[in-house]
Amino acid sequence: MSTPDTHSSARLSVLKTYKLYVGGKFPRSESGRVYEVTEAKSGQWLANAPLASRKDARDAVVAARKAFGGWSGATAYNRGQILYRIAEMLEGRREQFAAEVASAEGLSKAKAQARTDAAIDRWVWYAGWSDKLAQVVGGGNPVAGPFFNLSTPEPTGVVAVLAPRSSSLLGLVSVLAPVIVTGNTAVVVASKAAPLPALSLAEVLATSDLPGGVVNMLSGDTAELARPLAAHQDVNAIDLAGADAELAAELEGAAAENLKRVLRPDGDDWAAEPGLERMTAFLETKTVWHPIGA
């Protein structure tokens, strides 16, 4: 549990050291820096989170790129199973996450529980899309000629994800799941103010058969990490959900250098059922032609 033991008792609790999640491992920041994370309402100290550096971001991109071939090449069925497994593992730690969300977002226990449950269900929702999206957004094209012509969606590659600032778990899952379900790999910058649910989620991901490097989780200063990611030539797309308007505009400009696919921030309502947009934003459409003739 992340909250320090406040009630007096015979036993002092064991506090967890929160770490980054890169390439399937849990390193500290190469910079050696940490920053203080506090309870949303009381301002009480919760933990020292790693203050990741641009070099951590660089390492995370390398890990994400390395994982891309295997993850995008896995069957859709396999990816769906793994996303569902994430939901199963998260369900098993439901209480822990509800407590972390409550202190991160300053919510009542009941509200935090509801958001945690919604986050679990969101993994389930996206898990089901893995082997259906191609049937909904792809298909045969009746071209005028003796050709077989088929369009299928394919993942775009490595996606940098700036997690929403305020919704520490539901918001995070709502931006992360649609990126990876289709076969992309992700470098996630967690909410600066509320990074602990994200860093704990990494522990869930690490025990859900998700190959290392598919999701890389960084905590730290959003702008400091986002700038090198937006400019990185080996990043294919960026989700700006966690950037304010000014930063988003700057990052979008930097992203133009290698024509990253950019998803602009779009409000902060994570309760509604998502549509397909967050998935299709990070997909390429590939069309294959083949002659027909005996």
Partner 1 sequence: MNAKLFAYAPAPESRSVVEIASSYGLFIDGEFREAAAGKVFKTLAPASEEVLSEVAYGDEADVDAAVRAARAAFGAWSAMPGAERAKYLFRIARIVQERARELAVLETLDNGKPIRETRDADLPLVAAHFFYYAGWADKLAYAGCGPNPRALGVAAQVIPWNFPLLMLAWKVAPALAAGNTVVLKPAETTPLSALFFADICRQAGLPKGVVNIVTGDGATGASLVGHPDVNKVAFTGSTAVGKQIARTVAGTEKRLTLELGGKGANIVFEDAPLDQAVEGIVGGIFFNQGQVCCAGSRLLVQESVQEELLDALKRRLGTLRVGDPLDKNTDVGAINSAEQLARITELAEAGEAEGAQRWSPPCELPGEGYWFAPTVFTGVSQAHRIAREEIFGPVLSVLTFRTPDEAVAKANNTPYGLSAGIWTEKGSRILKLANQLRAGVVWANTFNKFDPTSPFGGYKESGYGREGGRHGLEAYLEHA
CB of 125 vs partner 1, minimal distance in Å: 6
Q: Which of 25, 41, 55, 132 binds partner 1 (CB under 8 A)?
A: 132
Q: Which of 84, 106, 206, 265 binds partner 1 (CB under 8 A)?
A: 84
> What is the residue-wise DSSP string for 26-85?
-PPPTT--EEEEE-TTT--EEEEEE---HHHHHHHHHHHHHHHHHHHHS-HHHHHHHHHH
Restricted to residues 133-162, the positions that interact with partner 1 (CB under 8 A) are 135-136, 148
3-state secondary structure of 285: strand
Beta pairing partners, 6: none
Crossing angle between the packed helical segments 222-231 and 54-73, to the nearest 10 degrees: 60
Q: Which of 3, 81, 152, 280 binds partner 1 (CB under 8 A)?
A: 81
For partner 1, give the closer residue by CB, 254 or 279: 279
DSSP 257: G
> What is the residue-wise DSSP string for 146-195?
SEEEEEEEEE-SEEEEE--SS-TTHHHHHHHHHHHHTT-EEEEE--SSS-
Restricted to residues 265-284, the positions that interact with partner 1 (CB under 8 A) are 276
Please work out the total of residues on this chain that contact partner 1, with binding judged by CB under 8 A.
23
3-state helix, strand, coil in the chain (%, to 5): 45, 20, 40
Please check whether residue 6 is in contact with residue 32, taking contact to mean a CB–CB distance below 8 angstroms.
Answer: no
For partner 1, give the closer residue by CB, 21 or 129: 129
Residue type, 108: S
Q: Which of 131, 154, 221, 252 binds partner 1 (CB under 8 A)?
A: 131
Q: Which of 68, 71, 129, 282 binds partner 1 (CB under 8 A)?
A: 129
For partner 1, give the closer residue by CB, 38 or 151: 151
For partner 1, give the closer residue by CB, 207 or 258: 207
First-residue to last-residue Cα distance in the chain: 67
Binding mask 17-56 for partner 1 (x = CB under 8 A): ----------------------------------------
Q: Which of 50, 80, 171, 242 binds partner 1 (CB under 8 A)?
A: 80
For partner 1, give the closer residue by CB, 32 or 146: 146
Q: What are the C-alpha distances in Å from 59 to residues 27, 51, 79?
A: 11, 14, 24
Q: Which of 24, 27, 106, 128 binds partner 1 (CB under 8 A)?
A: 128
3-state secondary structure of 100: helix
Residues that bind partner 1 (CB under 8 A): 76-77, 80-81, 84, 121, 124-125, 127-132, 135-136, 148, 276, 290-294
